[in-house]
Structure 1
């Protein structure tokens, strides 16, 4: 049995997976938005899952925003800013009484899709989160790649490549200017288009020219951003997650624009929608221990 926890900004979800990767039980609660209360909520949630199933897990994986600093062992770079600077692993390990592994939520998403999702069988996978924020995760041979600084895949806080005259840098919540999060996340898209991804998709399908233009521009910005990833990492598969991943027209549009920006005469990288949807975070967390870790 593998137990994973998806520690999100608004909700906390726990799931118990069997040896085949099937979810035996799952439950979610609102994230209280307070550090001590959130740690307690994780423990209560895990306890309810184990009591409900009569099965326990020797280890627990946790998907979270941000990452763990290799210098301090504390959380950093989380958009749930109240989590930053906290000894999250230490406190969870003590509270749960067993080994805990904490990993960035985008890395967990990528791991889930690489193990038994849309990128199963691929050696190098780049997971893309296009939701409220923008993130990335790297998996090679079914192992997450955090890097020596613990920031592997932090794609959302790199600049928009080849900016145009009308793409002046915008200040991001992290304090930097020009981050991808301000251009290709769901919230970024709404900032510059005035539409949610769902609204734009529905209007475009109904023939709204302005919505189609907005989605075409979004695809172009995503393609420019992914071209840099392909030039450096050259992944077999790129998997989209988050709310914008549900816009099916994006896939052909992004892929069609990529070759103009990639430093190659061929493009064999697949660009695909996730298989597990909202479950990828908690599933990836469960895979952090054992096979697939």
Structure 2
């Protein structure tokens, strides 16, 4: 049995797990943001509450980036752990093995072990939330790139400028990473809203755009057509490079099965591999994805 945690900027959720999909919830506690002693105490108290055996591992999903070589965490929204070697620092406090991975990695682990990717050899998870993220699990193991940067298909200039939807030429938008033309600028919910504003000069939420599209609204349909064209191209390139068996889609935009279906058709039309089976599918796990992913991290490493 291990104790797993899903840690965000507002709350820490905890559970014990005897398998990736067998959780006993321990509740949630507000995340201490500026006091590492208080942060470590919350983790210790939840481990004690779960009554895990002495020496049993703790596994954590956290926002941010974990450098697999140094163990240093970059977590901007939780200052007390930003810049720390989080796993080793907590391990010293708890006298237990501690594993840490970021939330995107744990999302894909959860889908690979207990969700839409269960039983598949290569699972690439794409997150279409506020922005765009991703991660890769192959043969049951999380792939951690150098510096903790892997699966980040949302960054790097990859978005087309010549498109089939009027105005036919689309200028690249600046990205928070410092570049421009990143998939992150158009692929998430804010990106969909940006495209609609560019095409039609009006402010609408991503939810409203999707609902209007489903209701036959012509302006929303034009926005969705452009969105699918721009996002499918770089995602097809990812598929050609990685060769995933399946791509579970997470984040808010994955709630639209119709949108994911359109993206799936567009991606499969552009990849080298020819298949009639859907590659892009909505993620199966939602509320507990972080906890299931953290548990999957531990069990995949023999804890």
> TM-score, with normalisation over the residues of structure 2?
0.83
User: Which consecutive residues of structure 2, in runs of 5 or more, have no partner in the other structure?
Assistant: 163-167, 197-202
**1:250: Cα distance to partner?**
1.3
Matches of 1:93 and 1:169, distance apart in 2:
45
What is residue 141 of structure 2 aligned with on the other side? 143
2:268 aligned with 1:270: no
Match of 2:178 among 166, 175, 180: 175
> RMSD of the TM alignment (CA)?
2.7
2:77 aligned with 1:80: yes
Matches of 1:281 and 1:70, distance apart in 2:
19
| 8 A contact 1:122–1:237 mirrored in 2 | yes
Dislocated runs of 4+, deviation >6 Å? none
Matches of 1:215 and 1:292, distance apart in 2:
41
| 8 A contact 1:235–1:269 mirrored in 2 | no
Matches of 2:40 and 2:261, distance apart in 1:
39
1:239-278 pair list within 5 angstroms: 239-266=248-275, 270-278=279-287
Aligned residues: 289
> TM-score, with normalisation over the residues of structure 1?
0.86
3-state secondary structure, aligned to 1:156: coil
| 8 A contact 1:130–1:186 mirrored in 2 | yes
Matches of 1:220 and 1:31, distance apart in 2:
40
Structure 1 pair 213–97 and aligned structure 2 pair: CA distance change class (3 A): farther
**1:212: Cα distance to partner?**
2.5
For residues 20-68 of structure 1, the C-alpha deviation after alignment (integer angstroms, 9 at most, x for no partner) is: 7222114233445x3435x7346415624642x5445711111123322
Q: Single out whichever of 140-149 and 40-49 deviates more from structure 2.
A: 40-49
Structure 1 pair 49–35 and aligned structure 2 pair: CA distance change class (3 A): same
What is residue 23 of structure 1 aligned with on the other side? 23
| 8 A contact 1:2–1:287 mirrored in 2 | no
Match of 1:201 among 210, 216, 221: 210
| 8 A contact 1:28–1:45 mirrored in 2 | no
3-state secondary structure, aligned to 2:6: strand
What is residue 95 of structure 1 aligned with on the other side? 93
Structure 1 pair 116–124 and aligned structure 2 pair: CA distance change class (3 A): same
What is residue 14 of structure 1 aligned with on the other side? 14
Indicate the structure (1 or 2) with the bigger Cα radius of gyration.
Answer: 2
2:220 aligned with 1:211: yes
1:14-93 pair list within 5 angstroms: 14-19=14-19, 21-32=21-32, 34-36=33-35, 40-41=38-39, 43-44=41-42, 47-48=45-46, 50-51=48-49, 53-55=50-52, 58-70=56-68, 72-76=70-74, 78=75, 80=77, 82=79, 84-93=82-91
Matches of 2:110 and 2:21, distance apart in 1:
10
**1:71: Cα distance to partner?**
5.7
For residues 71-98 of structure 1, the C-alpha deviation after alignment (integer angstroms, 9 at most, x for no partner) is: 643224x563845433322332233332
User: Which consecutive residues of structure 1, in runs of 5 or more, have no partner in the other structure?
Assistant: none
**1:149: Cα distance to partner?**
4.1
